[in-house]
Chains A and B, each alone.
Chain A
């Protein structure tokens, strides 16, 4: 608890030092935020719904900072993934094929982490980055804007099928289609570029470098538990990299104080290559 406490104390000091709000963006509370008796946002209130009765996932979401010791996920729940290591919750580790374990070894030191290089993050890095993401739910598509590295995903909700693997040009963010199963949004994605393109920053699932390839089919099950909480169970099915599919859980919480996404131009002042001796 030392670090959060330090952060708290320091922030209060920072805040107390600030003499002007002019440099901050003003807060505008959003409509539809349920309030408790104390006037604060009631995060346990039921999830909002769109006019067609489906849960509305729209909002700005932060990952939670909860972690789980390896092997301690409650029965029936997938292990919690972390930003640095999506396999953190698996006591026995991830089911690597040699291709994957070789890549993880090669990536030790994380010099080619796409996040550090300002390239698009992997799908789980986007879900777990400490910077927020905004879900914009429209009738025929859902768009997710990730503040980190300005990622942008489109999930088609118009009933189109998932294309054949290898047919459309592979994208960093893959090709995603979604449908509802009860109150759960099920998104399937394929045609990712993946780790076999020859570009070292391609195909990273996390900061450690757990890989994915162009054979990946990703299934994400989004469940807005209540107003304030979103669970995303992500299944990695990549027969080139892993001996079997596996599922991890991501937890996010709503940003309900009226603050917004903040511009993030990653190449504005990029010094990673210089600091790691690969640029003068």
Chain B
């Protein structure tokens, strides 16, 4: 079996058994579900950590043209691993488009739902911190 096929099987196996990536923290305490956000920019830092992984990007404001650094919270690294992410999935300089939800405190932070890699157009599920029943 090729490595690629093995990874595919692992990822699909987990998902077919309906395991979700998780929500470690209280979504409502940190993020405002009524404020969706979508930004594109180059990765400046990729923190492969628990309780959450983080992606930082330099994103240009479409109106002002100003570039600002934004942080996006993902699921826990442990949960992302179960979905096929690794510490090597992203590196500084990769251009990504991230969709998520803004932080309540108005800072340049958000949680991430999906990450699209510009180089391939592939969409990755970020296992964002969403409310669980």
- Using a CB–CB distance below 8 Å, which chain A residues touch chain B? 4, 6-8, 10-25, 27, 62, 64-65, 67, 82-85, 88, 109-111, 113, 115-116, 118, 129-131, 147-148, 207, 253, 257, 259, 262-266, 268-272, 275-277
Instruction: Identify B133's interface contact among A23, A88, A265, CB under 8 A.
Output: A88
A10 touches B21 (CB 8 A): no
Determine if B3 is an interface residue (Cβ-Cβ < 8 Å).
Answer: yes
A-B CB contact pairs (8 Å), 18 listed:
A7-B15, A7-B125, A10-B83, A12-B11, A15-B4, A15-B12, A16-B8, A17-B117, A18-B7, A18-B84, A24-B7, A64-B18, A82-B133, A116-B26, A207-B26, A253-B17, A269-B54, A275-B30
**A264 to B81 alpha-carbon distance, docked (Å):** 12
Q: A21-B3, A24-B7, A272-B51 are in contact. List 11 more A-B contacts (CB 8 A).
A: A7-B20, A7-B125, A11-B83, A14-B11, A14-B122, A118-B51, A266-B51, A269-B51, A269-B54, A272-B25, A275-B104
**A12 to B23 alpha-carbon distance, docked (Å):** 21
Interface size of B by Cβ–Cβ distance < 8 Å? 59
Given contacts A18-B86, A116-B24, A272-B25, contact A13 B122 (CB under 8 A): yes
B26 touches A109 (CB 8 A): yes
Given contacts A17-B120, A275-B109, contact A24 B29 (CB under 8 A): no
Shortest beta-carbon contacts, A-B, top 8: A10-B125, A23-B86, A269-B49, A110-B26, A15-B11, A262-B78, A130-B22, A14-B84
- Residue among B50, B120, B125 having the largest count of chain A Cβ atoms under 10 Å: B50
B86 touches A24 (CB 8 A): yes
Q: Mark B92-133, 1 if CB is under 8 A from A, else 0.
A: 000000000001110101000010010010111100000111
